[in-house]
Chain A
């Protein structure tokens, strides 16, 4: 899609949105950013953790209520960029009712999606999280997308090492 407008000096300016950017900031991401799901305090959580990304100041607090190896309730609080906040919102949608093993598997899968594994873009288990596949083309933003999952990893144990790339550890600087 090309859209050109005339600038004051008469030359035309390309105002179309480059596909790398429309892929990164997909409408579903902006929707989660502006209308976050499961955001707010959780009463009587069994697990809570707050993590931040010191580079850009993104913060996520994740709270779980785990009953008999299953995530009965999940909510988060946070502030930061669209990628970190949308990813956390999308994550909570996939976690409600999940077994802890499923939560760990989701985290591993999402990390692989962010590192460019294309077939995962068709994996329905990831739900809206698939919209974040475009982040793989912006390595400095991978940390943003992973912040919520870093919280989850800390709470329920890290997934099996497979597919965890560099830059995905909690509290890492780059």
Chain B
């Protein structure tokens, strides 16, 4: 069967924010790796929730509360199905990837990690998969170790295998680097972690927007991602973990919603996942995330991936033609997160020039300071592509880069 052509114009019409001018130019949004935009389906779902169904959840004494609870739990089931979880109880709603990782570091860390234990991370982790472990190491006396990154921008797997030992308690790795765009072989990494008797946590913030996920096949123990990078609302994210592990873990925060019973002498905990969801959750956010997942699946993750791969190929080719431009990360097994430097124009200056052309990119260290140091740069510019990005936008980026070159070469 031949796949129907990808209707980019129809996709773009779904995103109202894209139809605007910025600094007098048509908006070219190339910062989706920082936060994607939302389709009308998501905006409407959140609005509809507030207009028709909002109340607090799991207090079901009245009709609206029942509706809100159903919508919230329906979103959980939707996430579970989307990532191939065995059970909706394995989906913990959190604020985002950062909170998901802090939850694991705080809870699992307290129960399972002590002095002399090792947490094995990589040199390409986002600060959100580094700083929580630094805090845990400070608290527990555990040691952090880091798998090297090759000059091409891939994890050095031999290095990884060598560093695993019986002291390794947890391996934390990003599925896709937010600076290099490289897709890491997390299945292999998780399998090796398990052979060494360690847990494996995967930061899926950059992968969940682009890849079809199957927790069963991936084989890790924890998977964290954010709604706002995959067309969902801000302030909602997911921690997936195997049910047996979640049941073993102590609570992360205390409060309402996460208890079974409370006395002044002590409390008992609700069943998973509620044990980890203290306080009133982001109900509308969960509803919006459910809508985002349905939206992406209606287009088809495979169709999106095919289109993005074609667009990425074009972007690599066009950017590769620009003299003085250097792209970081490999050319294959990657997504359209393109970090680059151009001549001696600092990334921040590039971002200002591009912004005047209506082009939104990220500039700086991308919450990746150790990786930037490893690459020997202070900062890079980063253009990131998503399902609504176009070939014309890649052309506009290249044109604006030529302009930046002209501005900076006046006196050189």
A80 near B406 with CB under 8 A, answer no
A141 to chain B: which residues have CB within 8 Å?
348, 352
Docked Cα-Cα span, A24 to B353, in Å, equals 10
A27 on interface, CB distance cutoff 8 Å: yes
Docked Cα-Cα span, A144 to B364, in Å, equals 13
A55 to chain B: which residues have CB within 8 Å?
364
A15 to chain B: which residues have CB within 8 Å?
399, 402-403, 406
A57 on interface, CB distance cutoff 8 Å: yes
A81 to chain B: which residues have CB within 8 Å?
346-349
Quick one: which of A25, A27, A31 contacts B349, CB cutoff 8 A? Answer: A25
Chain B 335-358: CB-based contact to A (< 8 A → 1; otherwise 0)? 000000000111111001100100
Interface residues on chain B, size class: 20 to 34
Minimum CB–CB distance for B339 against chain A, Å: 14
A144 near B348 with CB under 8 A, answer yes
B7 to chain A: which residues have CB within 8 Å?
none
Docked Cα-Cα span, A37 to B369, in Å, equals 28
Docked Cα-Cα span, A25 to B407, in Å, equals 7
A30 near B408 with CB under 8 A, answer yes
Chain A 4-43: CB-based contact to B (< 8 A → 1; otherwise 0)? 0001000001010110111011010011001000000000
Docked Cα-Cα span, A138 to B402, in Å, equals 21
A65 on interface, CB distance cutoff 8 Å: no
Q: A30-B411, A80-B378, A83-B349 are contacts. A57–B365 as well, Cβ < 8 Å?
A: yes
B113 on interface, CB distance cutoff 8 Å: no
B379 on interface, CB distance cutoff 8 Å: yes
B412 near A34 with CB under 8 A, answer yes
Docked Cα-Cα span, A165 to B295, in Å, equals 45
A79 on interface, CB distance cutoff 8 Å: yes
B378 near A34 with CB under 8 A, answer no
Pairs A–B under 8 Å by Cβ, sample size 19: A13-B399, A15-B403, A17-B406, A18-B356, A22-B407, A22-B410, A25-B349, A25-B407, A27-B411, A34-B411, A34-B412, A56-B363, A57-B378, A81-B349, A82-B349, A83-B348, A83-B349, A141-B352, A144-B348
Binding site for B on A (CB under 8 A): 7, 13, 15, 17-18, 20-22, 24-25, 27, 30-31, 34, 55-58, 79-83, 138, 140-141, 144
